[in-house]
Structure 1
Amino acid sequence: MNLALTVLEITAPVFILATIGFGWVKAGFEYRLEFVTQLAMTFATPCLIFTALMKTEVDPAALATLSLASIVAYGAITVAAAGLMMLLRLKMRTYLAPVIFGNTGNLGLPLALFAFGETGLGYAVVVFAIMAIWSFTFGIWVVAGGGSLTRVLKEPLVWATLLGGLFLWQGWETPRFLTNTLELIGQMAIPIMLITLGVAVARLTPGRTLQAIAISALKLVICVGIAWGVGRWFALDDTAFAVLLMQVGTPVAVTSYLLAEKYGADADAVAGLVVVSTLMSVLAIPLLLAMLL
């Protein structure tokens, strides 16, 4: 009973905020998705990442180990997902990126914070940054037929991660007035991202539902299974291990749909994956948390 209550306390705020976004759109209210997403990804989230890393009390060596584990995990997931696409004869351009990349920002960061506190958030932003860099390069290359290192260098969250890591390593801190300002801006990120997730799901029209259910289930099994094996191989501590599993096991990212729409892949099929995998996570995430807590 206590475990069930703990899991409910962790997951309820996440899904309630997403439901608010969903209901907001269904009620007919305006929500400028592009503007809010840009605000979150170029302003609020980088501030959250920077302050979380700068102020974390996690050993930098532990963060470095988690970074390496994340790289190995996403590499293995990429290979496994490509093999799955060939086995099922699905188009790489449409399905590969959604299977690899989860919603580590909108969903993963809040879950890590609510489940494991500031330490969990510090770990989660590392996994998020690794995923983002791989998504901005390989992910775009798969969907669009060409990626660019220049895009990565233009992303504020990448620089926020590098600067946060540097400040952590050197033991530096920004002046108190600046830290307070950055923290206040960063506090916008989590509610904005969760509400935006609900808005995005509300606006998507699922396509090929049965296929989406099968692929979403396979994604969950592959990602969690590989993360579990990699986490044990690197002997991560309990919190880092749990965060790696939660982050890698998040449902299909909304950005996968946006990329498919932008570059002419099968956006309807990807929309189905986003909606179905997100709904599936309502059951999968509490079950995963129950095993990890």
Structure 2
Amino acid sequence: MNLVLTVLEIVAPVFLLALIGFTWVRTGHEYRLEFVTKLTMTLSVPALIFTALVKADIEPAALSALSLASVVAYGGVTIAAWLVVKMMGLDSRTYLAPLIFGNTGNLGLPLALFAFGEAGLSYAVVVFAAMALWSFTFGVYVTAGGGSLGKAFKEPLVWATALGALFLWRGWTLPPFAMNTLSLLGQIAIPLMLITLGVAVARLHPHGLGRAALMSLGKVVLCAGIAALAGLWFNLAPVPFAVLVVQVATPVAVTSYMLAEKYGADSDAVAALVVSSTLLSVIYLPVLLALLI
């Protein structure tokens, strides 16, 4: 009973904030999705990443192990997803990126914070950074039919991760006024990302939800299993192991829909994956957390 209450305390704020965003739009209120997304991804999320890493109490060996495990996990998921897409005869431009990339930002970071505290958030940032770098390069390439490594290095969150890792490695910090400013800026990221998730889901126009739900279930099993194997291979401690599994197993990212819409893939099919996997996550994420806590 205590475990059930603990899991509910972790996941309830996440889905309630998303529900606020969903209800806000459904009741006719305005929400500038593009502006808020740009604000969070350009300013607040990089600030959150940097301050989380600077303040993190992570041993260099643990940081290296989690970084390598994240790379291996996403490499394994990429190969497995490519095989699934080819065997099922699906359009790789539409389905490959959604099957690989989860919502490690909007959902993964808050879940790690609520479940495992500041240490969990620090670990989650590492996994998020690995996913983001792969998404901005390979993800764009497969969806658009072209991409470049240079695009990834134009993203503020990539530089925030690199600087945060450098400060963590060297034991550096910034003057208190600068850290306090960045901390305040970073604190708006998580509630804004969750509300924005609800807004984005409310505005999607999916089709084929039944098929999408089956694919979403397959994605969860595939991603959680491969992440667990990677965590065991690198002998991760319980908290980084749990964070890695939860992050990689998060539902399909809304950014996958945005990329499909931008580059002419089947955005309605991707929207169905986003909606079905997000709804299923209300069930499977608590179960996953109960197994890992």
After TM superposition, the score normalised by the length of structure 2 is 0.99
Q: Report matched runs for 1:1-293 at 5 Å.
A: 1-293=1-293
Cα deviation code 1:71-91 (max 9, x no counterpart): 000000000000001111111
CA distance in 2, matches of 1:61, 1:156: 26
Mapped to 2, the partners of 1:277 and 1:212 lie a distance apart of 8
Q: Which amino acid letter does the alignment assign opposite residue 255 of structure 1?
A: T
AA matched with 1:7: V
Consecutive unaligned residues in structure 1, runs of 5 or more = none
Q: Distance in 2 between matches of 1:214 and 1:206?
A: 15
**C-alpha distance in structure 1 between counterparts of 2:147 and 2:65, whole Å:** 27
Describe the SS at the equivalent of 1:213.
Answer: helix
- Matched residue SS, 2:172: coil
Q: Take 2:62 and 2:181, find their aligned partners in 1: how far apart are those partners? A: 28
Aligned residue type for 1:182: L
**Percent identity of paired positions between Structure 1 and Structure 2:** 67
Question: C-alpha displacement at 1:162, in angstroms?
Answer: 0.4
Offset of residue 34 of structure 1? 0.3
**Other structure's SS at 1:252 match:** coil
CA RMSD of aligned residues (A): 0.5
**Aligned counterparts of 2:70 and 2:167: Cα–Cα separation in 1:** 21
Deviation for aligned residue 1:137: 0.3
CA positional deviation for 1:153: 1.0
State the distance in 2 between where 1:64 and 1:41 align: 25
1:234-254 per-residue CA deviation (whole Å, 9 max, x = no partner) reads 100000000000000000000
> 1:60: how far off?
2.0
- Structure 2 alignment gaps of length 5 or more: none
Structure 1 outlier segments of 4+, above 6 Å: none
- Letter of the 2:153 counterpart: L
Amino acid at match of 1:144: A
In 1, distance between residues paired with 2:118 and 2:59? 13
SS at match of 1:219: helix
* 1:220-247 deviation per Cα after TM superposition (whole angstroms, max 9, x unaligned): 0100010111111110000000000000
Q: Deviations over 1:102-134 (max 9, x none)?
A: 000000000000000010000000000000000
TM-score normalised by the chain length of structure 1:
0.99
The alpha carbon displacement at 1:64 in A equals 1.1
Tell me which moved more, 178-187 or 60-69.
60-69
Q: Which amino acid aligns with 1:120?
A: G
What CA distance in whole angstroms lies between the structure 2 residues aligned with 1:29 and 1:206? 21
